[in-house]
Structure 1
Amino acid sequence: MNEIGGTSLGDVPIETNTRDIGDERLEFDVAQLPLDPRLRISIQNYDTDVRDVIRRAYVQRGPCQPRNHEFPPKKMGNKDRRFCVSWYNEYPSWLEYIIAKDVVFCLYCYLFSSSDGSFVNGGFSNWKRKDIIRKHVGAPSSAHNQARVRYESFKNQRQSIQLCFIKQSHQARTEYRIRLNASIDCVRFLLRQGMAFHGHDESEDSNN
C-alpha cells in the first residue's frame, strides 16, 4: 500500500513511457503521477493511447492507505468522529485516504468508472455515516462493482496474456518436433530403400 505524508510510496519501478500520437510525441514519467486523488487528472482526459499505461501505474501502486497517521477528530453532532484505520481491512484494494484533506476516495471508480461522485470528486468524510461507504459499494450491478470487475480483469490481463503466449509457444514447439521427427523417419525410409524423394505410387494399396 502507498502512503502520502513522508512515508514510503513502495517499490515502484521508475518507468518513462513514450507514445507516438499522430505527429506529436507524448512523454511522461509514470513514477511522477500524483497519488493524491485531488491532483489526479481524470482518466478520460488522457489520450486513449496512454490510458492503460496510466491505469497500470496506479494498479501497481495500489490505493493510498496511510496507517501510522494520527487521524484528526471532526465534530459531528455532540461527538468527535474520525476516520478508522480498520476500514482499510474491510476495503483493502480500493479505499484511499488523503491526509491533507481528511477524506477518502475510491481507486476502482477513478480508474474504471465513467460516473462521478463524492468518492471520485472531492472525497467523502462523513465519518459517522459509514453506511455511505457500503452504499457506495452497492449491489453487484452498481457502478462501483462494475469498476471493480474491470479493475480485476485489467490487473490479471497481463498475466493471462503471458500465460497464453507460454502455452502457444509450448504447443508450437511440440508440433514442430512431431513434424521434424516424421520428416526424419521418411528420409531414413527412403535412403534405406534407395528410393527417390518424389513419389511414384500414391495409390491406397501402396506401402510406400
Structure 2
Amino acid sequence: MENQPRREVGLNLNDIVGDPGKRKPIEEFDVSIRDRVRREYLNMGPCQPIGHKYEKRNMVLKKEVFKIFGLKDKGGRQSDDAFTKTGCSNWKNALERFNYHVGGVNSCHNNARIQFEAFQDQRNSVQGLFFRGHDESSSSSNRGNFIELLLWFSELNDDVSKTLFANAPANNQMNSPRIQKELANACASEVTLAIVNDIGDKVFTLLVDEARDVSMKEQMGVVLRYVNNEGYVIERFIGIVHVIDTSSHTLKCAIDDLLVKHNLSLSKVRGQGYDGAYNMRGEFNGLKSLILQENPYVMYIHCFSHQLQLIIVAVAKGIRVVNDVFSYVSMIVNMVGASCKRKDQLNDEELISGRGKNQETSLVRPGDTRWGSHYFTLLRLCSKWSSVEKVLEVVRDDATLRDNRSTTEGLIERMDNYEFVFTLHLMKHLLGITNELSIALQKKDQILFKPYH
C-alpha cells in the first residue's frame, strides 16, 4: 500500500472553551495542532466568570495549566481532578489540599509549571541536548536521543519499523555516528531552506556576533530578521561560520559567502545589528562601514540593551568597592559549586531550613559581559545566605591544605563584613532596576525611534 499524504488538520475554534472543566482534553486533539491549541488556551488567560451566581456548595476552583499539558508525576500519579475538572468545595481544608496538590519537586504541579514556562519561552534551544548516547547497544536502557527517538517513531509508523533495527540487514542499520551526522546535516539543510524560502524576495536585517568556542576556534553566528507574509516579525538563526580571525574584512567575506550560498543578496539588507566592538562599528574599517559602502541603505543599530550593559560594566569596574564585591561573589559561587558534593551539601541545607522546597537550589555563576546574570546571582546568594555560609564552614573544616583553609576562612569573614553586605544589597537593588530596563529594551514590540523615509 502506497503512503498516503498526511491530511492537514485544521483547528475548530469552537473547541476552545474558557472553562477548564468543560474543555476538550488536549490528547483528543490531533497531534499536529496541539501546540496551537495550547497557545489559544494560554492567550485566553485565567477563567474568570463574570456575573456568575455561585451555589453555596458548588464553588469551583480550576487550574487550566494542568489540563493543557496533561502531566503525571514520576510515580505516575495524575494531577488532582479538583484543579482540572471537578472543582473544589472543601474550603475548610483548602490549605491542606493546596499543599498536597503542589507536592514535591517532581509533582504534577511543578512538572506542569516547568512545561508551561518552557512552552512560553520559545527562544529556548535544543542544541544543548546530547545527540548520541554513552551506551547505544541493544541492552542499554537509554541509547541516546537519536536512537530512542528513532525507536519511538518506528513504533508509530509501520513503514519505518519494517526498515529499522531487527528488520534491517546487519550491514544497513543506518544508525552509525557518520549516518547520524549526515541525517542531522540534512535536517539542518531542510530547515535553512525553509527559512530562505520564507524570506523570499523580502528585505531583511542582518544580526551578527562572534565568539570563541571551547576548542578555541573563532565562530561567527548569523541571524536574519524579517517580516513574514502574515505580518509578524521573525528572527531566524541561519548558521555558524568558522572564521580565521575577527577582523572586519574576514567577517565581511564570510557574510558574503553565506548569503551567496543561500541565494540571498546583500542589496536586500536594510538593517545591521552588532555589538559595540570597534571591528564591528568602526567608522572607517568596521564591518558596519564595509557593508554601507556596498549598500548605503543598511541602517546600523547597536543593541540598546548591550549599550546599557556596557555602561553598567564601566561604572561598576570604576568603583573599587563594587568591583571587590563582585570579585568575592564570584569566588564564593565558585567555591560552593566546585564539586557535586558541595552542591549536594547546599541542597541539604536548603531542605533542612525549609527554603529549598520546589526551588532552584544552584547558585548562578555570573557571566563576564552579561551583567544581567549578576543580578540573579545576587538574588540567589541573598536567599541562601545562611546555607552558603554553612557549606563554606564545612569546606573550611574539611580542607587538607592550609591555603584552601585560609581562602575559605577569608570568604566567610567577608560574608560577615558590613561594607560587603551593604554594597551587595545596594547593587542588588540597582541591578534590579537596570534589569527591568534591559528586559524592556529587548522586547520585540518596542519602538525606540521613529524610522525616517
State the AA in 1 paired with 2:119. Answer: F
Residues 11 and 33, structure 2, Cα contact 8 Å, conserved in 1: no
Q: Does residue 109 of structure 1 match 2:66? A: yes
* Structure 1: segments with no counterpart, 5+ residues: 1-20, 76-100, 183-208
Give the match for residue 127 of structure 1.
91
State the AA in 2 paired with 1:128. Answer: K
State the AA in 2 paired with 1:130. Answer: A
Candidates 52, 62, 65, aligned match of 2:45: 62
CA offsets 1:62-90 (integer angstroms, 9 cap, x no match): 22134x65874736xxxxxxxxxxxxxxx
Candidates 148, 154, 171, aligned match of 2:113: 148
Give the match for residue 83 of structure 1.
none
Residues 22 and 85, structure 2, Cα contact 8 Å, conserved in 1: no
Task: Name the count of aligned residue pairs.
Answer: 133
Residues 118 and 124, structure 1, Cα contact 8 Å, conserved in 2: yes
Give the match for residue 42 of structure 1.
25
How far apart, CA to CA, are the structure 1 residues paired with 2:5 and 2:255? 46
How far apart, CA to CA, are the structure 2 residues paired with 1:129 and 1:181? 67
Residues 118 and 124, structure 2, Cα contact 8 Å, conserved in 1: no
How far apart, CA to CA, are the structure 1 residues paired with 2:256 and 2:33? 46
| CA-CA distance at 1:110 after TM superposition | 0.6
How far apart, CA to CA, are the structure 2 residues paired with 1:63 and 1:181? 49
**Cα 1:22–1:43, aligned 2, differ >3 Å: closer, same or farther?**
farther
**Cα 1:130–1:69, aligned 2, differ >3 Å: closer, same or farther?**
farther
Over alpha carbons, which structure has the higher Rg?
1
**Cα 1:181–1:110, aligned 2, differ >3 Å: closer, same or farther?**
closer
**Cα 1:167–1:71, aligned 2, differ >3 Å: closer, same or farther?**
same
TM-score (norm 2): 0.25
More strand per residue: 1
State the AA in 2 paired with 1:44. Answer: E
SS at match of 1:146: helix
RCO higher in structure (CA 8 A, sep ≥6): 1
SS at match of 2:83: coil
Deviates more, 1:22-31 or 1:144-153: 22-31
Q: Indicate the percent of aligned positions where both proteins have the same amino acid.
A: 27
